Structure 1
Amino acid sequence: MIHKQTIQKSLWLLIALFFFLPRAVQAEEASLNTYVTPLFPESQVDESKGYYELLLPPGQKETLRLEVGNSSSEPINVQVTPHTAYTNTLGNVEYGKDVEEADPSLIHSLDELMTPSEVIALAGNETKVIEIPLQMPKDAFEGYLAGGLRITEVKEEEDSDAPGGEGVAIKNEFAHVVGVVVSNTRDSVQPELELLDVFADQLNYRNVISATLQNFTPTFVNQLAVEATVKRVGENEVLYKAEKEMMQMAPNSNFNFPISLEGDRFRSGNYVLELTATSGENEWSWTREFTIEADEARKLNREDVMIDSGVNWWMIGATILLILMLGLVLYLMWQKKRARESEKEV
């Protein structure tokens, strides 16, 4: 009976351990309730394009008009917000979000030249034209200013942080993005790149070596291809490498090109990066030494989800369980032996 109870308790303990594991939660996808059509002004360069490409003189005012419709039978609220284009870690241009820190070469942020709309109500199946004013910089500039208009469906929800748990917060839902590119002239600008930095980093909680590439010119860098290798200083063995094609950089922007360690640990020491970038007939090459400190390596290794931290809680739990069961068996054997000795004495 005692052995049966012990087995049952062990099974319940194992079941409890399983329930403490984190579980993923899936969210349902929802479709957009809006449709958007840009209405181009006379300053539009090419009306066949699905975004604004405007040629305007310095100091000129322009109005960007968007036809926004509600495709559902229920009333909704929408808002249009301007944003400045930047380059994300994947090597793609983002038109409808804000970068954490703008590139220092960026003189005019497009979002600062436009005014966002108010939150606008649309009845079921209603269509409205939303106007966004644009004020060009007073001083002439070369190349392009790039960004986008984000048309967002917003919903009101209870704000638990409000006093007494009451209040209303605006929650952004799903969005369309319409690109905006403005210029003073049609003169082309030659793209130029610079390697700003190389450092130990993480991307999605995985160890990478990041090479910060900067486009400090007011033009797009198209069909960008990058090849990179990392070696220890003074050695020929390639430790890590990465290559990617068909990327694009926004004007006056930078991004961190990641070189994955493929689940490997950071090890302190001196390293050298060799990186080549090409765009059309343009080519840039750099060789840059960098150092990974021991404290930095330990910190990043602990945070990497692909690296065994050295503490296997399943193994520890199983070991403790086995020790407890072994101790229980030994205790029962000792009790049984003691009972037999007591019977002999009687």
Structure 2
Amino acid sequence: MKKQRYFYLIFILLFSFFGLVSETQAADKGAGYTIAPVYPENQVDQHLGYFSLKVTPGQRGQLAVLVQNLSATKTKKILVKPTAATTTDQGQINYSPSNKKKDSSATYILPELFSKQVTVSVAPKTSREVTFEYQIPQNGFKGQILGAIYALDQTSSSNQNKSQFGINSKFAMVVGVQLSQDPSKKVAPKLNLRTVKPAIQNGNATIQLNIQNSQPILFGKLSLNAQIKKLGQQQVILKRKVSNYQMAPNTNFNFNIDAPKSKLTAGNYTALVNAKAGDYTWRLKRNFTISDNQVHKLNQPQTPARNGNMIWYILLAVLLLLVIIVLSFGARTKRRRRH
């Protein structure tokens, strides 16, 4: 009987685990609210799904989004704010709030031209229009200013979807915003290799190249072929190739090249980057030095970045292993009874 009770206990734990996963997944199926652009008269195209505004120097205007609460029972508190577009280290455009500093090449970023963030309460099955004021500088600007109107559900945890393990899902949405004085006028992008240095990224030793788009233009289909060589030598020590990267106007990102142990010693090096986007090509080069102290840090054992989902995989593996053991034990017991 003890063994039977143990068998049932394991199955109860296993199915309870799957029940919690299902509950969390169900909570993540929808945000329970939407935001949509309310196009002003200076919207370039009414079918884009985002704001593309033609503006003039010194212009004052308004930009609004419609926030709709889809819940039939719960009032939602939604934070709505203008954000600046940035470029992630994975070569993607990010419209969410970022800790990145304003790039040195940017004259203006979108939040500097717009009124401040607001938090609105939206009753069940209703919608509210949230309006921001903006002012274009008197001297205007070149190219594009890119960002978004960002919305985050800040409803208190008592009103949030929560699993029994305290997982609290919060949902964010964005509507892109592009400002330009002459949408038909194209500005040529320009890439710069600002810095090269050893670094630790996600627990891995890397050589970190900071690449900048110093012009006010969004572009994509960027391919990068980077190589690290000893100064004055032709042998390639480290390399990395990528394609289909994107860059937001006047932004930069860190391009990391893995540096396995024993690949690097103290000394002088050269970083070379061949880049291409459409008809534009760049050959970037920068010399850099790695000190003895930096080599020592790079070669130290690193703690891998924590994975928030790993505990679930481990727990599931343990439970499955226990079930297999119990089933095997049960099969052996039956065979013995037959004999």
Give the match's secondary structure for 1:155.
coil
Deviation at 1:155, TM superposition (A): 3.0
Distance 1:270 1:174, change over 3 A: same
The verdict on how the C-alpha distance between 1:265 and 1:139 changes in structure 2, with shifts beyond 3 A counting, is same
Percent identical pairs in the alignment equals 29
Aligned partner of residue 299 in structure 2, secondary structure = helix
What is aligned with 2:180? 183
Equivalent in the alignment of 1:113:
113
The structural deviation recorded for 1:90 is: 0.7
Q: How does 1:296-307 map to 2 (within 5 A)?
A: 296-302=294-300, 304-305=302-303
Q: Please report how far the alpha carbon of residue 117 of structure 1 lies from its aligned counterpart in structure 2 after TM superposition.
A: 4.0
1:250-265 pair list within 5 angstroms: 250-261=248-259
In the alignment, the residues of structure 1 paired with residue 119 and residue 64 of structure 2 have an alpha-carbon distance, to the nearest angstrom, of: 16
Q: Which moved more, 1:116-125 or 1:264-273?
A: 264-273
Extract unaligned runs of 5+ from structure 1.
1-25, 159-170, 307-346
Aligned residues: 269
Give matches, 1:215-294, under 5 Å: 215-261=213-259, 266-294=264-292
Match of 1:51 in 2: 50
- Residue of structure 2 equivalent to 1:75: 75
Distance in 2 of aligned mates of 1:157 and 1:115: 28
Q: Distance in 2 between matches of 1:28 and 1:263?
A: 41
Deviations 1:156-204 (A, max 9, x none): 469xxxxxxxxxxxx9932101111101123211111111111111221
**Matching of residues 1-346 of structure 1 within 5 Å:** 28=24, 30=28, 31-73=30-72, 74-156=74-156, 173-186=170-183, 187-261=185-259, 266-302=264-300, 304-305=302-303
Partner of 2:325: none
Between the two structures, name the one with larger relative contact order (CA 8 Å, sep ≥ 6). 2
Render the CA deviation track for 1:31-80: whole Å, top value 9, x for unaligned: 31211111111111111111100001111112111111111121110011
Contact 1:193/1:213 (<8 A) preserved: yes
SS in 2 for 1:296: helix
Match of 2:324 in 1: none
CA offset digits 1:212-256 (Å, max 9, x no partner)? 111111111321110011122344332211111111111111111
Q: Scaled by the length of structure 2, what TM-score is found?
A: 0.74
Aligned to 1:188, the other structure's residue is in SS state coil
Distance of 1:95 and 1:118 partners within structure 2: 17
CA shift for structure 1 position 100: 2.3
Cα offset for 1:282?
0.7
Is 1:229–1:238's contact at 8 Å kept on the other side of the alignment?
yes
How far is the alpha carbon of 1:28 from its aligned partner? 4.0
Look up the SS of the partner of 1:81 in the other structure.
strand
- What 5-or-longer segments of structure 2 have no aligned partner? 1-20, 159-167, 305-339
Q: Contact 1:199–1:209 at 8 Å: present in 2 too?
A: yes
Structure 2 contact 261–299 (Cα < 8 Å) conserved: no
Partner AA of 1:84 in structure 2? A
- Give 3-state SS (helix, strand or coil) of 1:111's partner: helix
For residues 28 and 300 of structure 1, the distance between their equivalents in structure 2, rounded to whole angstroms, comes to: 39
Q: Distance in 1 between matches of 2:224 and 2:180?
A: 28
Shift in CA distance, 112/210, structure 1 to aligned 2, threshold 3 Å: same
**Contact 1:82 1:96 survives alignment (8 Å):** no
Q: How has the CA–CA distance of structure 1 residues 128 and 87 changed in structure 2, closer, same or farther, with 3 Å as cutoff?
A: same
Report if aligned partners of 1:87, 1:249 keep a CA contact under 8 Å in 2: yes
| Corresponding residue SS for 1:32 | coil
Structure 1 residue 300: deviation in Å? 3.5
